[in-house]
Amino acid sequence: MLTLTPAQITQYLRQSYAAADGLWFMKVEDACGFDAALDIDEKVWQVMPKIQARAMKSFCGGSTGLEALVQCFEAKLQLDGFEFSTTKTTDSADITLSKCPWYDKLVKSNREHLAEKIGSRICLAEYSGWAAEFGCKFSFAGEGRICRGCRKCGVRFEELKS
């Protein structure tokens, strides 16, 4: 039997996950059109972060709040193949994404022209879902987004004020 390294396992699962996401989208698009596929995709990404965040939360002991969110979200970004940096204050965290594997896949498939339409809905749904699972608030930090042709995306998470 073939023995894989942890890096090979991660690469295999990441590629399979990304392929499944892209394939189902394209099949729904073929059957129902782009707008219908994007509507369904948005609904998926309103639920998927709950599943991912709850799994990550259980790995780090079930904590909530900004510190736990940042720890878990950084792990998610790393597993998904993003490049990023984080700046934290006592009540907020700014995460700068300098490489987005989802955008790279759109470019590779010559669908870059759809990136802003997809990213503005899917990233908002996904990142808001992550924030909600940890009792925090999400916003895009600044106007820059890779899907809009900028070099970086800014994501901000904040503690909810009581």
- CB of 106 closer than 8 Å to CB of 114: yes
Residue 112, domain member (yes or no): yes
CA distance readout (Å), 11 to 8, 17, 79, 81, 104: 5, 10, 9, 9, 16
Instruction: List per-block mean pLDDT (blocks of 10 residues) for the chain, which spans 162 residues.
Output: 93 92 94 97 96 94 92 95 95 95 94 94 96 94 86 93 70
Query: What pLDDT is recorded for position 162?
Result: 64
Does 3 reside within a domain?
A: no
For residue 81, the enclosing domain spans 8-159
Query: How many domains does one find in the chain?
Result: 1
Question: 2 lies in a domain?
Answer: no
Instruction: Tell me the CATH number at 97.
Output: 3.30.1380.20
